[in-house]
Structure 1
């Protein structure tokens, strides 16, 4: 017997960044509710939801009214273990690229294992900027017609919400039977590790005068691919702390 699809949906959130048109917020709320999802998150919208939002929500006012609002993306996904950025453009930030069905399957599998998951959508005209994509673990691309790939924000949300619905109905993904031995690291824990790593590399003069940004981008991708758990993050913090201590002792000598 298949489990109730709402069982893991509560750990899935749709995040809209810098939305410019309040109507799109309402349409996104409607797209979520039609697919059994309820968690809508807004990051620094240009205009707050209004009467137009409510009209286009078409009965999904409960989703619209419950939408959380954050000042920036990092705060909105701080407790997430998987963050997927939905983008139609190829950027300088190199991320693993997923089709919507692959992304939904991975998202639901993570939710089934007890993780918080975010699917992030950018601004109507410009999408997600490079800094925001840096906060994502992978990119999701909807394979639209290359000759006319202009997809409305709410329509893109509907595509991903539909794929999430299918994955939820498919027995919550392949990892629904077992909990991980140690929880995967949350987004803010990974960001803390990256900050510590950057600091340590500076102290041991790893870059030797070269710009650190390129090395840090590569290291971020490597560690994000590894999907570290909390114990592994603590171990790496310990290694970095010892490296800093040794660098300090070497400097004194």
Structure 2
């Protein structure tokens, strides 16, 4: 259980109030989570963060501060973004409990991430595009405002409960290939875009939503690292102008 919880990374994007960072650290430590990454926080380190951590200072001391979300999740095999609304995205949307079960399951095969956005505006569409799934906390429609640390506490508790129950869901077992990391997926998407422009299937001046739709399609598929290599091999062959078609036996 501790190994799986230790692989769940909490990523805070653009946090404006340092006290919220401290409160998040406290919520994480109480549930056995320890991997905290801050993307472009407005103020950190700060005395307010330390004061509200209330004993979780070690998490703050180990927290990594990065400038880009893609760097924060590059080595993750599954990334769940928190959002109060879908905003037209076609990736899977979970309630907290099933999201937690899936996080625990996939944590058996590598690091996973829970991504939280800004206090006032949440995650941008571009940031949500970096997520393989979304989670929504079913708050009262009449008052859906939820403090950042409270949202982290809800999902951290759901993860700990899933780990305690031992619901490993679709956890990869022996001999099963590992899922592709976000860095491998991003490299695939960049390769796709380059080739689609080359074969004039994609107009870079008028891209519409083609790349976003392809991104969501492959994110839903849950590709393994080997499947990504196969797709990139096909793209490389296409870049080189193809070759004589091979007849199957």
2:226 & 2:172 partners in 1: Cα distance?
A: 22
Where in structure 2 are there 5+ consecutive unaligned residues? 244-249
177-186 or 21-30: which moved more? 177-186
Structure 1 residue 171 displacement after superposition = 1.6
- 2:21 is aligned, of 25, 34, 38, to 25
- The equivalent of 2:247 in structure 1 is none
Deviation at 1:33, TM superposition (A): 0.7
Partner of 1:167: 162
Instruction: Give the CA RMSD over aligned residues.
Output: 1.9
SS of equivalent residue, structure 2 residue 235: helix
Answer yes or no: is 1:13 the counterpart of 2:9.
Answer: yes
Give the alignment partner of residue 68 of structure 1, picking from 61, 64, 74: 64
How far apart are 1:36 and its partner, in Å? Answer: 1.0
Give 1:50's aligned residue. 46
Structure 2 Cα separation of the partners of residues 187 and 212 of structure 1: 22
1:92–1:130 contact (8 Å) kept in structure 2: no
SS at match of 2:195: helix
Residue 137 of structure 1, CA deviation: 0.4
The list of structure 1 runs, each at least 4 consecutive aligned residues, that deviate by more than 6 angstroms after superposition, is none
Partner of 1:95, secondary structure, is coil
8 Å CA contact retained: 2:105, 2:172: no
Equivalence for 2:216 = 221
Give 2:82's aligned residue.
86
TM-aligned CA deviation for residue 90 of structure 1 = 3.1
C-alpha deviation, 1:9, in angstroms: 1.2
C-alpha distance after superposition, 1:4-46 (max 9, x if no partner): x212111111000000000000000000011111111110100
Unaligned 5+ runs, structure 1: 249-253
How far apart, in 1, do the equivalents of 2:102 and 2:169 lie? Answer: 9
Counterpart check, 1:201 vs 2:193: no
The two structures have a TM-score, normalised by structure 2, of 0.93
User: Following TM superposition, by how much is the alpha carbon of 1:245 offset from its aligned partner in structure 2, in angstroms?
Assistant: 1.5
